[in-house]
Amino acid sequence: MIIGSNMAEAHPVGFQWVMEAKGHGARVIHVDPRFTRTSAVADTYVPIRAGSDIAFLGGVIHHVLDNDLDFREYVAAYTNASFLVGEDFADTEDLDGLFSGYDPATGTYSRDSWYYAGTRPPGEPDGSRAKAFSEPLQAGASGAGIDGAADAERDPTLQHPRCVYQILKRHFARYTPEMVERVCGVPQEQFLDLCRAWTANSNRERTTALVYSVGWTQHSVGAQYIRTGAILQLLLGNVGRPGGGVFALRGHASIQGSTDIPTLFNLLPGYLAMPDVEHTDLDAWIADQRSAGHKGYGYDVDAYLVSLLKEYFGDAATPENGFGFDWLPRIDGDHGTYRTVMDMIDGKVSGYFVLGQNPAVGSAHGKLQRLGLANLDWLVVRDLNEIETATFWKDSPEIETGEIVPERCRTEVFLMPAASHVEKEGTFTQTQRMLQWRTKAVEPTGDRRSELWFTHHLGRLVRERLADSTEPRDVPVQRLAWDYATEGEGPWAEPSADDVLRRINGYDLSTGELLPGYLGLKADGSTSCGCWIYSGVYADGVNQAARRTPHTEQGPYDAEWGWTWPMNRRVLYNRASADPEGRPWSERKKLVWWDADAGEWTGHDVPDFPARIPPGHVAPQGSTGPEALCGDDPFIMQPDGKAWLFAPHGLLDGPLPTHYEPHESPVRNPLYGQQGNPTRKVYGRPDNPSNPSPPESGGQMFPYVLTAARLTEHHTAGGMSRQLPYLAELQPALFVEVSPELARERGLAHLGDAHVVTSRTAVQARVVVTDRLAPLRIEGRVIHQVWLPYHFGHTGLVSGDVVNDLFGVVEDSNVFIQESKVTTCDVRPGPRPRGQELLALMEQVRAAAGITVETGTRISTSHGVPHTEESP
């Protein structure tokens, strides 16, 4: 099942395995708004309206539950299906699209009523935390806590009306094939064919893999899209088993690594929560990560954080000073990239580093990005090539409109050449968590330098400047362990990536030995470790990520190529590949199992379970951490050891996924009175207008559904492809794909010019009329969808308007990822107006649609409270 992903185009080399499976008889089904190169080689293509995937998958869940097609033994033993939820819980079925606990004034939920019966929310002093914090993401690795979860009431028969299984059944009761057809536009027979295929291929003997990409994440309900896929795969027993799983295909060489070792505001390495204003000291932070009866490895966060602080501050981190915990900055809300860009426009940010990224093209609402850049004191751009983010002051679209005038733009710009991937050494973490070390092929020439060099020397120079300061705020900079080994001579030598990786792996400080893995980490300051989940990458003093044993010379799981976190496991939660008694569900699908003679777990993969806890083990009362795991608790990072069909904690927008219309949609939500995600993050500002959606009026100005994505021939914002002749020639111009039906309706000619219009701007593109797009019938109306690739900008060998300029900024409340996979638009024949005339057109369009700063910000449909920002 490939949904929300165009795998053949965006991940062609990974797709060889899909083609190989197909050659072995696997059926490949692709669900997507447009017929892509993935659809072309799939067995079945299912067109879907962009932004309706939860309704679609909810329909499959309905099919599973309605026909008793779930993998019952797996579901009963390994998920929280049997747990009872408290009596106060009210579902979206009861409240017309809202869950219990909604506060329309803040647009947030109080989640007390979502807990299991007899459990409570852990340490939530007041309800005010919820909206501002990216808390679910912060709780990532340790799981979200529930006090007393292990003691929650259960009904193993799954019959109790308040058990998760029955709640799930009721929640999706109206997600019938008829409803799927109305909401998604998928004909019923085709939908049922897909349901039959998925369920028939999911049992003891067979597993089904689910693949998604940013087609799922970039939505105002994005986290819940993935939840829906996970719920379905859990119901069908497709998690932790070979050939099963939920695969996120990520789009950048080390975007997985930059999440694990995050350059993200809300996380410290290894998904540890960034301290916030409530964390008065280290103990408060630790207490906040734990809950009563907390099972599994998430409980040991104290060892992970203290070891990190020992790496950060070295000998200066002592038990007496809380290992330097108080030196860490505190967050108190949204400091995400879009918030920061608005803060730039509002004059709150002085300096900005942009490192191997091109937000002027690649981030949603490109104009907002560029206006932010134009209001800085200084900007450092480090890249291989001259990209739009570095040249906004001379060639951005706002120069033409007069919104940026070079002579009046004060931003000082440093454009610094970066070393390429062959001119430095280090590790990338690929999409399945595998770290692969790259050796340096050649030295970088000229001013080209690695980010390691840049960061190391910037730190050195800042430390020199603050060395004699007596300001308390400068203490962490002075105490920082910044003594990495260097290669070469002189003050400007290249730091050693190998040394950095060793310190990420961690040391036993009493012996000076490299640690074998995270199980050796201590909370007493006797170990250091830069990222606990990466501990083991340098086990035995060997750079495990540099291993390159040919696949032809090792077993099917290729354990000696690179290194996969955690502990070189290839399949997460693989304890679930065996039944509760520890026997493989089937011979055909065996992966790990209990070896009774040896008294330990064994198998083809590294078992993802305490090695010596037997299948029938019952944890002692009152225990916590790994010792609290029972023999049938495969989900060792969950506080109750079970996979969550119902998420009592950890999500801000509901314990169960619910179909909400996108922020900008041409139709009224057919399922509920509540139109969109009632907790979505809106930024009601004059520079961030929204297209109206029902029940607001004015949406007819933007009758079509717009989605954007990649082409094989280009890479994201184009900085690494539009500049290369061999790639530029393969897709040399921006185009907009329209169906023949829409072309007739709008008078669009193949290869002619057209412009796509939203409330933000108009983007010009060549028209490509293709049968690959088809209109859908939604709620009795014909809905057209259009598509553009988003790679183009104004520098490079081939150029074009920035498609991301069409999108506004509205985000998923859990993770602050923007909704840039779906919006509404108009498509008009001919080129767009330019300069001042473009601004005039936009004024006219917004006026005609009745758009004000409040448009789209009434996130609760029934309450109608606007959520706007005051002018700075």
Partner 1 sequence: MWERLGKWPVVRQLTGRDRLGRGAAAQSPSHVGLRPRTADADRVAGTVCPYCAVGCAQKAYVRDEKIVQIEGDPDSPISRGRLCPKGSASLQLVTGPQRLDKVRYRAPYSTEWTDLDLHQAMEMIADRVVAARERGWQDVDGKGRRLNRTVGLAALGGATLDNEENYLLKKLFTAMGAIQIENQARI
Partner 2 sequence: MSRNRLSGPLDDVAGDAGHVTHPPRVGFFTDTSVCIGCKACEVACKEWNSVPEDGLDLLGMSFDNTGMLGANSWRHVAFVEQSRPTGRQDPGFDGLPTGPSGIPDTADAVEPRLREAPRGGSELGTSPLPPGGPEPQELGMPGFDRPGDLAGADTRTDFRWLMASDVCKHCTHAGCLDVCPTGALFRTEFGTVVVQQDICNGCGYCVSGCPYGVIDRREHDGRANKCTLCYDRIGDGLEPACAKACPTDSIQFGELDELRERADRRLAQLHDLGVGEARLYGRDPDDGVGGDGAFFLLLDEPEVYGLPPDPQVPTRYAPSMWRRAGAAAAAFALAGIAAFVGGRR
- Our finding on whether 421 is near partner 1 (CB under 8 A) is yes
Stretch that binds partner 1, among 86-94, 202-210, 232-240, 388-396 (CB under 8 A): 388-396
Residue 368: closest CA among 407, 406, 338: 338
> What residues have CB less than 8 Å from 703, skipping those under 6 apart?
666, 784, 824, 826
342 scored as a contact of partner 1 (CB under 8 A): no
Q: CA 756 → CA 470, 596, 717, 733, 791, distances in Å?
A: 57, 65, 19, 15, 16
**Any contact of residue 713 with partner 1 (CB under 8 A)?**
yes
C-alpha 34 chain-centroid distance: 22
Which one, 13 or 105, has the nearer CB to partner 2? 13
Both tokens of 466, joined, read 């603050």
Question: Do you find a cis peptide bond into 686, omega within 30 degrees of 0?
Answer: no
Binding mask 198-227 for partner 1 (x = CB under 8 A): --------------------x---------
- Of 333 and 694, the one with the shorter C-beta distance to partner 1 is 333
List C-alpha distances in Å: 280 to 277, 302, 323, 495, 744.
7, 15, 14, 35, 64
608 binds, among partner 1, partner 2, none (CB under 5 to 8 A by kind): none
550 vs 780, beta carbon nearer partner 1: 550
* Residue 867 found at the interface with partner 1 (CB under 8 A): no
Quick one: 68 or 771, whose CB is closer to partner 2?
771
* Closest separation in Å from C-beta 448 to partner 2: 21
Choose between 750 and 834: whose C-beta lies nearer to partner 2: 750
The correct pick among 353, 395, 770, 779 for binding partner 1 (CB under 8 A) is: 353
Q: Which does 265 bind (CB under 5 to 8 A by kind): partner 2, partner 1, none?
A: partner 1
Choose the contact partner of 117 out of partner 2, partner 1, none; CB within 5 to 8 A by kind.
none
Per partner kind, with CB cut-offs from 5 to 8 A, the member of partner 2, partner 1, none near residue 359 is: partner 1
Name the residues that contact partner 2, by CB under 8 A.
8-9, 12-13, 15-16, 19, 23, 35, 37-47, 185, 187, 189-190, 193, 711-713, 725-733, 735, 739-741, 743-744, 749-751, 766, 768-772, 774-777, 782, 797-798
Token readout for 64 is 């599973």
Q: Which residues of 61-74 are buried (b: 16+ CB within 10 A; e: fewer)?
A: bbbbbeeebbbeeb
Determine if 772 is a binding residue for partner 1 (CB under 8 A).
Answer: no
40 HSE (CA, 13 A, CB side): 10
Applying CB under 8 A, among 61, 75, 211, 261 the residue interacting with partner 1 is: 261
Q: What is the DSSP letter of 124?
A: -
User: CB-wise, 38 or 369, nearer to partner 2?
Assistant: 38
**Residue number, 197 or 865, with CB nearest to partner 2:** 197
* Helices 282-289, 301-313: inter-axial angle, 10-degree rounding: 140
Only one residue has tokens 């070390």, namely 437
Contacts with partner 1 in 804-833 (CB under 8 A)? 815-818, 820
**Binders of partner 1 in range 452-511 (CB under 8 A):** 452, 454-459, 461-462, 464-466, 473, 476-477, 480, 482, 484, 492, 495, 497, 500-501, 504
Q: What interhelical angle do 53-66 and 222-235 show, nearest 10?
A: 20
| Of 179, 180, 176, nearest in space to 47 by CA | 180
Cα–Cα dist 347/89, whole Å: 44
**Residue with smaller CB distance to partner 2, 190 or 586:** 190
Closest CA to 658 of 53, 46, 246, 4: 53
Q: Which does residue 26 touch among partner 1, partner 2, none (CB within 5 to 8 A, set by kind)?
A: none
If binding means CB under 8 A, how many residues of this protein chain bind partner 1?
Answer: 167
396 binds, among partner 2, partner 1, none (CB under 5 to 8 A by kind): none
Q: CB 511 → partner 1: shortest distance, Å?
A: 23
| Residue 372 φ/ψ, nearest 5 degrees | -65, -45
Which residues lie below 8 Å from residue 140, measured CB to CB, with a gap of 6+? 267, 271
CB nearer to partner 1: give 170 or 421: 421
| Piece of the chain touching partner 1 by CB under 8 A; list 11-19, 93-101, 115-123, 747-755 | 11-19
**β-sheet bridge partners, residue 782:** 777
Least CB distance from residue 481 to partner 2, whole Å? 43
Backbone angles phi, psi at 151, to 5 degrees: -100, 10
Report CA torsion sign: 311, 316, 322, 326: negative
Q: Which residue lies nearer to partner 1 by CB, 46 or 572? A: 572
Full DSSP string of 137-160: HHTTTT----BTGGG--B-TTS-S
354 near partner 1, rule: CB under 8 A: yes
- Residues 278-337 contacting partner 1, CB under 8 A: 278, 280, 312, 326-332, 335-337
500's contact among partner 2, partner 1, none, with CB below 5 to 8 A by partner kind, is partner 1
Indicate the SS3 state at residue 645.
coil
Q: Interaction with partner 1 in 518-537: which residues (CB under 8 A)?
A: 530-531, 534
Residue type, 750: H
Spatial separation of the C-alpha atoms in residues 210 and 202, rounded to whole Å: 12
Closest distance of CB 782 from partner 2, Å: 5
The answer to the question of residue 356 lying near partner 1 (CB under 8 A) is: yes
Taking the complex as a whole, the smallest distance from the CB of residue 670 to partner 1 amounts, in Å, to 30
